[in-house]
Amino acid sequence: MQHRLLFYFFTLWCSTFFCCGNNVAQDLREKATAKHNEAVKVYMEAKLKNFSADSIQLAMDLINESVVIDSTYVWAYQTKIQFLTNNNQYEDALDVINSAFNCGLEKDNPILFCKRGILYEKLNQPNHAKTDFFQAIPLYNKWIERYPDDYNALSIRAIMIYLADGKEAGIQAYNELLNKPLKDIQRKDVEMILSMITTGNRNKIIESINP
């Protein structure tokens, strides 16, 4: 279950929907991207192979450099958030995402509202979480008006509706999603989450989502 829900928030940052920084000098963006990619490589190797604390720290240093090089590079913020939440450092991750908001990056990247909302949930601040979820929904609605079959946007909006409006609204959102042309693996994921919503496993869903 966990790796399925992780898919919504860790891999969706690669979607072309979430882009920004078009006015940033290309050389700075390239340097920031190179640091980011190196950080991810070091981190994954440390987690999957050598479990080295020094390598984990190196990955964090590299992602910090990426943010410094280009403060509008949203992927770097999201990866840093991922590193921190993997280590249950939710308050530190919240500081990072608030830095992204301070740069105005949420205007072109509504996924940041989703991520911050989940962090607020994990920090037991449900009112702040709902505020972010509610702000994310209309942004996804606008995107879906243009791209009605975009599974990434549809799936994120569905989970936001559930977390913001509750069980019945969530069930309706996921049933609507099931009427879309989905791949088999997507349909299985939707059916699995719908089952969890129906049986009232909200806390398990929150626990399983890693922003």
pLDDT tens, position by position, 181-196: 999 999 999 999 999 9
pLDDT at residue 93 tops 90: yes
Torsion of CA 19, 209, 11, 165, to 10 degrees: -50
Distance of CA 131 to the CA centre of its chain: 16
pLDDT at residue 2 tops 60: no
CA distance 151 to 169: 18
- Contacts of residue 92, defined as CB under 8 A and 6 or more positions apart, other chains included, come to 84
Distance of CA 142 to the CA centre of its chain: 18
Q: Identify the CA nearest to 118 among candidates 155, 73, 164.
A: 164
pLDDT at residue 103 tops 60: yes
CA distance 48 to 33: 22
CA distance 209 to 55: 25
Torsion sign, CA atoms 157, 163, 164, 169: positive
Between 204 and 179, the more confident residue is 179
Pick the CATH number of 19-109 from 3.40.1000, 1.25.40, 1.10.357, 3.10.450: 1.25.40
CA distance 39 to 45: 10
What does the domain layout of the chain look like in residue ranges? 1-18+113-211, 19-109
Q: What mean pLDDT do residues 154-169 have?
A: 95
Q: What mean pLDDT do residues 1-20 have?
A: 41
pLDDT at residue 15 tops 90: no
CA distance 162 to 86: 24
- The angle at the Cα of 102, spanning 97 to 107, to the nearest 5 degrees, equals 85
pLDDT at 21: 43
- pTM for this prediction: 0.84
**DSSP code, position 71:** T
pLDDT at 187: 95
CA distance 71 to 104: 10
Q: What mean pLDDT do residues 31-39 have?
A: 97
